[in-house]
Amino acid sequence: MRKVVLVTGASSGVGRALCQRLLEADDGLHLCLACRNRARAEAARDALLAARPRAQVSTVQVDVSDLRSVLRAARELRRRFQRLDYVYLNAGIMPSPHLNIKALFSSLFSRRVVHVLSTAEGLLTQEDRITADGLQEVFVTNVFGHFVLVQELESLLCHGDGPSRLIWTSSRSARRANFSLEDVQHSSGREPYSSSKYALDLLSVALNRNFNQRGLFSSVACPGTMLTNLTYGILPSFLWTLMMPLIWLVRFFANAFTLTPSNGAEALVWLFHQKPESLNPLTKYLSATTGFGSNYVTTQKMDLSEDTAEKLYQSLLDLAQRVRVTILDAD
């Protein structure tokens, strides 16, 4: 039977490159592209099938920032599939980013330059919004919509017939100091992106604790800094083009500049091929690229406590229950 792989945010960037690379390695897979925009999803499916006609590629419409859409998509997936072997929880946003140019220049002359350029620590803030469900948009898109999707797909993931895998696209910019259990949605801070990625790291640890015995395994990966729609929201593409010679130079010291979505997919593809029992649940798997353009995977121990992970998990369960009641009442 074909293995089924679901990828959210597969219409562009690293999600789309991941689909391409997975099919290059094995066109016997069934890929299901979970995207918010039907036209973009179909364009991605057509391009993938044109390159690998033997593959099976389907699409499902889901806007992960809209919980009704998540519930609808999960219902559709339960109708179509008996099991999901891999779910890549990849869709993500960084709305209205503001780059602190002064901090960027001072970091270039500091000893922490490689760390700052790899994580953007102290360089970026964002303006978050509130969704129609009354939730912070970055939190619901990057974390909570995916959490509810996983909950709704539990029967396809814990099927008792071999392991299933969750692979989250996190980030090197996930930072403990930007996350608080008292404000998991980061409604009162200016770094919702970093907070949401830290929440993903915690969530993955908690999911392993709660689901490994039922055959579900979770991992987190960072694709490194790539030129995608997300980074074109920080600086326009012509500025990235102008900075390219400098970035190629920087890449000799900072392996996080993977630059292309295909390079960025390295850790996500590598995780696909690993036995889940061999992976460390407290490790983040990072795509990296050398100055000469070779890709490899490196690891980082996550800066978190299992107790905080469990507390976040419980607060997401509570929130999901409350939101479900509100949605059901309104319908």
Ligand X SMILES: NC(=O)C1=CN([C@@H]2O[C@H](COP(=O)(O)OP(=O)(O)OC[C@H]3O[C@@H](n4cnc5c(N)ncnc54)[C@H](OP(=O)(O)O)[C@@H]3O)[C@@H](O)[C@H]2O)C=CC1
Ligand Y SMILES: CC(C)CCC[C@@H](C)[C@H]1CC[C@H]2C3=C(CC[C@]12C)[C@@]1(C)CCC(=O)[C@@H](C)[C@@H]1CC3
Nearest to 71 by CA among 157, 144, 148: 148
Q: Site for ligand X (CB under 6 A): which residue of 20, 90, 164, 262?
A: 90
Got the DSSP string for 221-262? EE--SB-SHHHHTTS-HHHHHHHHHHHHHHTTT-TT--BSHH
Instruction: Mark the segment that binds ligand Y (CB under 6 A) among 7-15, 239-247, 274-282, 293-301.
Output: 239-247
Got the DSSP string for 51-110? H-TTSEEEEEE--TT-HHHHHHHHHHHHHH-S--SEEEE------SEEE-HHHHHHHHTS
Which does residue 85 touch among ligand X, ligand Y, none (CB within 5 to 8 A, set by kind)? none
The one-character DSSP state at 2 is -
Does position 250 bind ligand Y by CB under 6 A?
yes
Q: Which is nearer to ligand X, 35 or 48 (CB)?
A: 35
Does position 99 bind ligand Y by CB under 6 A?
yes
Q: Residue 197 in contact with residue 174, Cβ under 8 Å? A: yes
Consecutive H or E run containing 218: strand 216-222
Q: Residue 21 in contact with residue 265, Cβ under 8 Å? A: yes
- Nearest distance from residue 152's CB to ligand X, in Å? 15
Does position 12 bind ligand X by CB under 6 A?
yes
The one-character DSSP state at 132 is T
Question: Residue 326 to residues 48, 67, 68, 132, 135: CA-CA distances in angstroms?
Answer: 39, 11, 11, 12, 12
Q: Which is nearer to ligand Y, 104 or 317 (CB)?
A: 104
Q: Site for ligand Y (CB under 6 A): which residue of 43, 49, 103, 104?
A: 104
> Count residues contacting ligand Y (CB under 6 A)?
19
Q: Which residues in the 120-139 window bind ligand Y by CB under 6 A?
A: 120, 123-124
Q: Which is nearer to ligand Y, 49 or 113 (CB)?
A: 113
Distance of CA 212 to the CA centre of its chain: 20
- Nearest distance from residue 265's CB to ligand X, in Å? 9
Q: What is the three-class DSSP state of 280? A: coil
- Nearest distance from residue 178's CB to ligand Y, in Å? 12
Does position 65 bind ligand X by CB under 6 A?
yes
Q: Which residues in the 126-185 window bind ligand X by CB under 6 A?
A: 141, 169, 171
Distance of alpha carbon 318 from alpha carbon 292, whole angstroms: 48
Does position 300 bind ligand Y by CB under 6 A?
no
Q: Which is nearer to ligand Y, 13 or 276 (CB)?
A: 13
Instruction: Mark the segment that binds ligand X (CB under 6 A) among 87-95, 100-108, 205-213, 247-255.
Output: 87-95
| Residues within the interface to ligand Y (CB under 6 A) | 99, 104, 117, 119-120, 123-124, 171-173, 222, 225, 231, 234-235, 243, 246-247, 250
| Site residues (vs ligand X, CB under 6 A) | 8-9, 11-15, 35-37, 40, 62-65, 90-93, 141, 169, 171, 222-223, 225-226, 228-231, 261
